[in-house]
Amino acid sequence: MIEILLFAICVESITEILVSSAIFFDFRLFVSKNSKFLGKLISCGYCSSVWVSLIVSSCTPQLLVNDVYIDYILKVFIYHRLSNLFHEFMSRYNKRLPFELVISNVNLESNQREAVEIDESK
């Protein structure tokens, strides 16, 4: 189980470097100028972590189930989700914000999202 957490942190770290670091600024600029879609994709940590998870999952041993393909797909989603949770936690920690449980409600008619905080004291 610790391997899953370590690989998820690895995905988050690679994604953060790719999306936010100065060393990849010229690369992001080049991609954005040549493709609007890929420019948005490489500027979005949530989006990029899916692709980084695909790569990291292909480099990790079989961990979860006996079927290689199902194991690969499960790892992609697990690494992606855990890396995003870790990123959110670290962002809030660095900004000294509380880490609250938030559920995102989607209004399908207006296609707008709104965050609803859960009051755990009730």
| Structural domain contains residue 106 | no
Mean pLDDT of the chain: 80
| Structural domain contains residue 92 | yes
Q: In this predicted model, what pLDDT tens digit does every residue of 63-95 receive, in sequence order? A: 788 888 888 888 899 988 889 888 888 887 878
Q: Residue written as tokens 């972590």? A: 49
Q: Contact at 8 Å (CB) between 24 and 17?
A: yes
The pLDDT-based confidence of 32 (bands split at 50, 70, 90) is very high
| Structural domain contains residue 121 | no
Q: Contact at 8 Å (CB) between 65 and 80?
A: no
Res 120: pLDDT? 44
Handedness of CA 44, 17, 77, 119 (dihedral sign): negative
Q: In this predicted model, what pLDDT tens digit does every residue of 45-69 receive, in sequence order? A: 888 999 999 999 988 888 788 888 8
Res 29: pLDDT? 92
Q: In this predicted model, what pLDDT tens digit does every residue of 87-120 receive, in sequence order? A: 888 887 878 766 555 444 444 454 444 444 444 4
| Structural domain contains residue 108 | no
Report the Cα–Cα distance between both ends of the chain, in Å, rounded. Answer: 33
| Structural domain contains residue 63 | yes
How far apart (Å, rounded) are the C-alpha atoms in residues 16 and 3? 20
| Structural domain contains residue 116 | no
| Structural domain contains residue 77 | yes
| Structural domain contains residue 83 | yes
Task: Quote the number of domains for the chain.
Answer: 1
- Please, what is the angle between helix 2-20 and helix 68-94, to 10°? 60
- State the residue range of the domain holding 71: 2-97
CA nearest neighbour of 53 among 9, 20, 17: 9
